[in-house]
Chains A and B, each alone.
Chain A
Amino acid sequence: MKNHVLRPLFVAVGVVVLILLAREVLVPADFGVQERGYMYGWHRKGNEADWKNVRVKYRTTAYCKECHQDKYADITGSPHGAIMCENCHGPGLAHPDDPQSLHIDRRRELCIRCHFRLPYQASGRGRIRGIDPATHHPEAECVLCHYPHNPRWTPGKEARR
């Protein structure tokens, strides 16, 4: 064969060999076709463990009630019983080792997530007792009058359970 045909051919073969060599060095050993086949399972197996090892930040109510039995008893029978503690108190990942890490959200913006009056009867929102935050004591934090762990009870009054 002529020289001008062979020379580019050598270059092409060299490139392919180079890529195959680089593949041996650079591609992790556990990269390959996994359970879901080549189309959906072509990946590095070790990454599944990477995702499993992500740190859990929300410990859920089951964790909180181990120490805070009193607060748990307060909220569990109330209309707010279904709300996870960490929704308002912040994720409990570093608690109780670092108490400062819990940030209790007492802002009005937290309460009006549900209690801003939206008359949407097609969803559950229409049946939640709501207010207009612009007219309903706009200067005060909700917790001044309402006890969030049991909204049926207000400070200074007998419980209305």
Chain B
Amino acid sequence: MISRRSFCKKSILILGGIAVPLAALELFDPKKLAADRSGPSTVRWVFLVDTHKCVGCGFCVKACKIENEIPYDANVSRTWVERYVVTRDGKVHIDSPKAARDGFTSTSIDQGALGMLKIENNDIDKAFFVPKLCNQCDNPPCVQVCPVGATYQTSDGVVLVDRSWCIGCGYCVMACPYGVRFFHPVYHAAEKCNFCYHRISKGMKPVCVEACPFGARRIGNIRDPDDPVTRIIMTERVNVLKEEYGTKPQVFYVGLTREVK
């Protein structure tokens, strides 16, 4: 005979157990991601960023803007570099003046409308640079929300935008948690990093990879187990940005810390 009290207790326990989705218990595992992709393509482009190597020179941003015809003086960019300065009082200062197109040539932090913040060198606990670009997510939220099918993912994992079909509603711009998308100032369609699709499909590397003198940016094919980038992703400590959004981002970072947003 079951008492009312124990019945209630057990029901709550069972309901709670059912409510916790299995996905929440699952830890991040790139091996599983690689195995998951049993699609027709033998290529799945991924990116590897080593934040230890980045010095914030901004050559990648400059080259990207010219290569991909983003107006040079417009305040949007397919890729950008962020500077993180953690000071002794525990504050995290972040900036990316002009998307770091001209590099970081000041010790002051650009706070936008609040002006420049001067930081003494002695106050710095740690400071580093983080390059950002499109994560070419496996579950791209920007593609899911497009009402007309103007943006899509190719079989090799790159998310592209059809400039002749985009209506310019801005939903994809709003949906991207990484702030990668924007409206092209000339073509007015949604615009984003596509790993220089015209280059990687010709066997070249994306222009930011070529422009980086320090090897901080690398591209690879995660379906090829012998690819050096795949080796690093599988065997070393890498992380991704905003994993909790469930987007399955495919840009892997070495040396990410909790300050990085």
**How near does chain A come to B19, taking the closest CB pair, in angstroms?**
25
B-contact bits for A81-100, CB 8 A (1 contact / 0 none):
01110110011000000000
Is there a chain A Cβ closer than 8 Å to B3's Cβ? no
With A47-B160, A53-B198, A114-B103 as known contacts, state yes or no: A35 contacts B59, CB within 8 Å: no
Residues on B with C-beta less than 8 A from A114 are 55, 57, 103, 213
Considering only residues 197-214 of chain B, those with a C-beta below 8 Å from chain A are 197-199, 201-202, 204, 207, 210-211, 213-214
A-B pairs with beta carbons under 8 Å apart, 10 shown: A40-B144, A41-B155, A44-B164, A56-B202, A57-B66, A87-B62, A112-B105, A116-B104, A120-B127, A123-B56
Is there a chain B Cβ closer than 8 Å to A118's Cβ? yes
Is there a chain B Cβ closer than 8 Å to A133's Cβ? yes
Is there a chain A Cβ closer than 8 Å to B63's Cβ? yes
Given A58-B210, A122-B52, output 14 extra A-B contacts at Cβ < 8 Å: A35-B39, A47-B160, A47-B164, A50-B162, A56-B199, A60-B210, A84-B213, A113-B102, A113-B103, A114-B57, A116-B103, A120-B127, A120-B128, A123-B54
Q: How many residues of B contact A (CB 8 A)?
A: 58
Give chain B's interface secondary structure class: loop
Q: Are B102 and A123 in contact (CB under 8 A)?
A: no
Q: Are B104 and A118 in contact (CB under 8 A)?
A: yes
With A47-B162, A51-B194 as known contacts, state yes or no: A123 contacts B103, CB within 8 Å: no
**How near does chain B come to A132, taking the closest CB pair, in angstroms?**
9
Q: Are A40 and B140 in contact (CB under 8 A)?
A: yes
Is there a chain A Cβ closer than 8 Å to B129's Cβ? yes
Q: Are B154 and A87 in contact (CB under 8 A)?
A: no
Q: Are A60 and B204 in contact (CB under 8 A)?
A: yes
A124's partner among B52, B59, B68, B198 (CB-CB below 8 A) is B52
Q: Are B128 and A123 in contact (CB under 8 A)?
A: yes
B-contact bits for A119-140, CB 8 A (1 contact / 0 none):
1111111001000010000000
* Assembled-state Cα–Cα distance A48/B41 (Å): 15
